[in-house]
Amino acid sequence: MRKRVTKHVPNAITCANLFSGCIGIVLAFQDNLIFAAYCIFLAAIFDFFDGLASRVLQSFSNIGKDLDSLADMVSFGVLPSVILYKLFLLAPQIGSVSTYLNFAAFLIPVFSALRLAKFNNDVRQAESFIGLPTPANAILIASLPFIVKDYPYLWRDYVLNPYFLACFVLLMCFLLVVELPLMSLKFKSRDREKNIYRYLLLLFSAILILFFKFAAIPVVIAIYIALSVIQLKFTTS
């Protein structure tokens, strides 16, 4: 009986991820972008713990794998695209630029779907990622409403610019599917040498977030990509 119950724990956590994403979409369409962004962070926490629960409980299944991708598609694909769509509409110049440019935001779930499909079928991604993971992409997008709110005089005019947002969407779509190996954040051993880049990422992230809060997230993602490239260069040379 206990084994039957624990078997469903990871899927229950995955469903919580999906539920968070659905609530976030509603909040985003209600123009509550801050709480919609919090839903992405909450979904990311559930996404981390469903994988952890699967490993701890040794509960793996094809249904769980597919459910995880479907939940990620909503929470890290559709929800961030709705936030971007709303940011496009908040841009003062959007009316004079194009009334259709804001729909570029929905390229994010298209490329997120491609990213997730590749991940499920690419044996190379057992130990690392190929392309930016959808949760990282979503968390980066979730930081934008906070940057606009916390730094209105410094960043508002840059973030709420349709040209910036369009270029940002294209960049994130490219990073989702680019053939670039990126390190996994899972610590599978206690070997300091093997985990040195993960430790560096955690150290830089903690310092930056401590001082700059959500505005640090784009820099953290950039550092993550840079450290992954450095790690790849040294491990293959």
pLDDT digits (tens, 9 = 90+) for 99-128: 789 999 999 999 999 999 988 887 776 667
Residues with Cβ within 8 Å of 133's Cβ and at least 6 positions away in sequence, in order, are 115, 119, 182
Structure tokens at 221: 């993602």
CB 142 within 8 A of CB 40: yes
Could you tell me where the beta strands, DSSP code E, fall in 17-88?
Answer: none
In this structure, are 110 and 25 located in the same domain? yes
Query: Does residue 151 carry a pLDDT above 80?
Result: yes
Structure tokens at 163: 């040209």
| Boundary (domain end) residue, out of 156, 179, 202 | 179
Given pLDDT bands bounded at 50, 70 and 90, which one contains residue 236?
Answer: low
CB 131 within 8 A of CB 178: yes
| Boundary (domain end) residue, out of 134, 163, 179 | 179
Predicted pLDDT at 188 = 58
In this structure, are 97 and 125 located in the same domain? yes
In this structure, are 147 and 205 located in the same domain? no
In this structure, are 115 and 168 located in the same domain? yes
Given pLDDT bands bounded at 50, 70 and 90, which one contains residue 1?
Answer: low
What is the C-alpha separation between 68 and 202, in angstroms, rounded? 25
In this structure, are 175 and 188 located in the same domain? no
CB 141 within 8 A of CB 78: no
In this structure, are 82 and 192 located in the same domain? no
If one counts every other C-beta atom within 10 angstroms of the C-beta of residue 148, the result is 19
pLDDT digits (tens, 9 = 90+) for 190-233: 666 677 888 899 999 999 999 988 989 999 999 999 998 888 77
What is the C-alpha separation between 31 and 194, in angstroms, rounded? 44
What is the C-alpha separation between 225 and 121, in angstroms, rounded? 22
| Boundary (domain end) residue, out of 160, 179, 198 | 179
Which amino acid makes up residue 85?
Y
In this structure, are 204 and 121 located in the same domain? no
Domain that holds residue 209: 181-237
CB 40 within 8 A of CB 80: yes
Enter the pTM of the model.
0.90
Instruction: Identify the CATH number of the domain in which residue 135 sits.
Output: 1.20.120.1760
In this structure, are 208 and 94 located in the same domain? no
Give me the mean pLDDT over the 68-88 stretch: 96
DSSP state of 75: I
In this structure, are 147 and 44 located in the same domain? yes
Give me the mean pLDDT over the 178-187 stretch: 82
Number of domains in the chain: 2
CB 20 within 8 A of CB 43: yes
Predicted pLDDT at 237 = 55
pLDDT digits (tens, 9 = 90+) for 18-49: 999 999 999 999 999 999 999 999 999 999 99
Predicted pLDDT at 125 = 67
CB 195 within 8 A of CB 180: no
In this structure, are 113 and 56 located in the same domain? yes
- Closest by CA to 228, choosing from 161, 130, 113, is 130
In this structure, are 185 and 170 located in the same domain? no
Structure tokens at 36: 């919609």
In this structure, are 202 and 226 located in the same domain? yes
pLDDT digits (tens, 9 = 90+) for 86-100: 999 998 887 777 778
**H or E element, residue 165:** helix 162-177
Structure tokens at 5: 């119950």
